[in-house]
Structure 1
Amino acid sequence: MPSIFSYQSAEVDWCEGNFEHSEYIAEYYNTISNISFFILAPLILWLNSPYKDFRPLPVCSLALMEICIGIFSAYFHMTLSYAGQLLDELSILWGMSMCYAFWFPVRYFPGFIKNRDQFMWLVLLVTLFSTLMSFVRPALNAYALNCVAFHLLYLTVQELRQCNNSRVHHLAGLMVFWWAVSIGCWLGDKFLCSWCQQLGFCYLHSLWHVFINVTLLYCATLIIYFDVLYESPASEPQLMYWPGETSALALPYVAIRKPQKWC
């Protein structure tokens, strides 16, 4: 029986040809495209430094999980090992669970949950159960993780219905656009591989890595904005873009006009 760390022992293989550019890296472009995770993590911290000053744990934890996801995803695509596959998928699972634990709006808590601490314990139990179940059918893990996006989209719609800020609606629209582009690349690589091979372009999954990080930047900014708005409205959060809104590479962030001491 091959080791779980053996090359190509994973249950999944993406469209990119294996070992075409290196004898040590199975999927070369799928591996190096994970650099986008390492770019996103410090970018979120830098752009939202005022928020980090008041709630360092959530945003620093997010940056740390982004780095972990980047490391494990690169390891998976480099080796296509079973261990790499599980580490990649479980890091995403725990990263999403961490975001739910820190940022899920209180008003959406189940009726039997009384406070944030209880909700964190619930999230931990669900995550531990999901972690164990992920070993049952690893090939289904990626589909289950992508389905979480539909719940996030539902929450976004619910929040936008109560928000009249046009800048927030614009940011949410950009987030949904980039998510659609990202998931399109993921599905295309998964189900249209033969067509991609005919075109000589088998790198949609590497584009998924890049575009999903663009999506996460917009998503994180939106989450931070609503967190400040509901937890400390006197801080007067405002959506801004660096270096400017007219820039070809406008990066969103949350400016806090009247910083308050809150936790």
Structure 2
Amino acid sequence: MENTVSSFWGPVTSKTEWCEMNYAYSSYIAEFFNTISNIPCILLALIGLINALRQRFEKRFSVLHISNMVLSIGSMLYHATLQHVSQQSDETPMVWEMLLYIYILYSPDWHYRSTMPTFLFLYGAAFAIVHSQVRFVIGFKIHYVILCLLCVPRMYKYYIHTTDVPAKRLAKLYLLTLFFASIFWLFDRLFCKEISRWYLNPQGHALWHVLMGFNSYFANTFLMFCRAQQRGWNPRVLHIMGLLPYVKIEKPKAH
């Protein structure tokens, strides 16, 4: 949403703007709430990363948590500047993150171990190059949704084969946060003209960020539990201060 306030970053060059008045609170931050709402996402990913490193989970989970952090930082840059290059710093990590999820979900049953990571790496690199040169809005959304849908069958398989009640609750929290985040995202996109006339903007896209931060954390924690079960590490879902769930494992002692 444009206004006449002068800005540090210059004219808007990104393809997409959201339902928040530009530079309403600072000449350095284009969309204030859409920018700061990424901070909880970074903190949750940091908590997940610390847990993965402390318990020596496989490196794929450390990379996944770092990917969540990179995505959130890219989103902050995008919403703070509304520049085309910063929009790419948000959208390209979105695709990279989904490629990581595909690898984590499907690699345990993939017999040719080197082919999948090699293909996904080359695919991610090729996408980054093409995306840096070509501006596509609808095409990007369709491509991203397809990558997300590829994860659904495997997530469902993991869910139905998990008997642990707290672990199943993680999967349910993942679905719940995804549902409400999507509602806020659609509301912000479809009813922006009406919202702009309200006295108070509910900041639907900022709420999307916060909920998706929890969504990623729940998804990662659930996948860590499932992988620990596959490795025979006796995982349990515990809670930090009785609130935030995390996975505690007990690796068998080497003889």
Q: How many residues align?
A: 243
Residue 66 of structure 1 and its aligned partner are, at CA, apart by 2.4
Deviations 1:131-162 (A, max 9, x none): 34434343232453244333333322122222
Determine if the alignment matches structure 1 residue 145 to structure 2 residue 144.
Answer: yes
SS of 1:115's partner is coil
How many Å separate the matches in 1 of 2:213 and 2:252?
28
- After superposition, residues 67-146 of structure 1 pair within 5 angstroms as 67-107=69-109, 109=110, 114-134=111-131, 135-140=133-138, 141-146=140-145
Deviates more, 1:188-197 or 1:171-180: 188-197
Residue 181 of structure 1 and its aligned partner are, at CA, apart by 1.1
How many Å separate the matches in 2 of 1:37 and 1:86?
19
- After superposition, residues 174-253 of structure 1 pair within 5 angstroms as 174-199=173-198, 200-201=200-201, 203-230=203-230, 232-233=231-232, 235-244=233-242, 250-253=243-246
How many Å separate the matches in 1 of 2:147 and 2:18?
22
Deviates more, 1:66-75 or 1:133-142: 133-142
- Relative to the length of structure 2, the TM-score reads 0.85
How many Å separate the matches in 2 of 1:89 and 1:142?
10
Give the equivalent residue in structure 1 for 2:6. Answer: none
Give the equivalent residue in structure 2 for 1:247. Answer: none
How many Å separate the matches in 1 of 2:214 and 2:25?
27
Unaligned 5+ runs, structure 2: 1-8
Q: Is the 8 A contact 1:16 1:27 kept in 2?
A: yes
Q: Is the 8 A contact 1:30 1:74 kept in 2?
A: yes
- Relative to the length of structure 1, the TM-score reads 0.82
Percent identity of equivalent pairs:
23
How many Å separate the matches in 2 of 1:206 and 1:17?
13
Q: Is the 8 A contact 1:10 1:82 kept in 2?
A: yes
Q: Is the 8 A contact 1:7 1:79 kept in 2?
A: no
Q: Is the 8 A contact 1:217 1:252 kept in 2?
A: no
How many Å separate the matches in 2 of 1:155 and 1:82?
34
Relative distance call for 1:195 and 1:149 in structure 2 (3 A) is farther
Residue 84 of structure 1 and its aligned partner are, at CA, apart by 0.7
How many Å separate the matches in 2 of 1:92 and 1:260?
38
How many Å separate the matches in 1 of 2:15 and 2:127?
18
Residue 188 of structure 1 and its aligned partner are, at CA, apart by 1.7
Q: Which amino acid aligns with 1:72?
A: G
SS of 1:253's partner is strand
Give the equivalent residue in structure 1 for 2:47. Answer: 43
Residue 59 of structure 1 and its aligned partner are, at CA, apart by 2.6
**What's the C-alpha RMSD, in Å, of the aligned pairs?**
2.3
Q: Is the 8 A contact 2:40 2:210 kept in 1?
A: yes
Residue 39 of structure 1 and its aligned partner are, at CA, apart by 0.6
Query: Which of 245, 250, 254 is 1:257 aligned to?
Result: 250
Q: Which amino acid aligns with 2:80?
A: M
Q: Which amino acid aligns with 1:167?
A: P
Deviations 1:203-259 (A, max 9, x none): 1111111110101110000111111111x11x2112222222xxxxx2111111344
Unaligned 5+ runs, structure 1: 245-249
Relative distance call for 1:260 and 1:178 in structure 2 (3 A) is farther
Deviates more, 1:26-35 or 1:251-260: 251-260
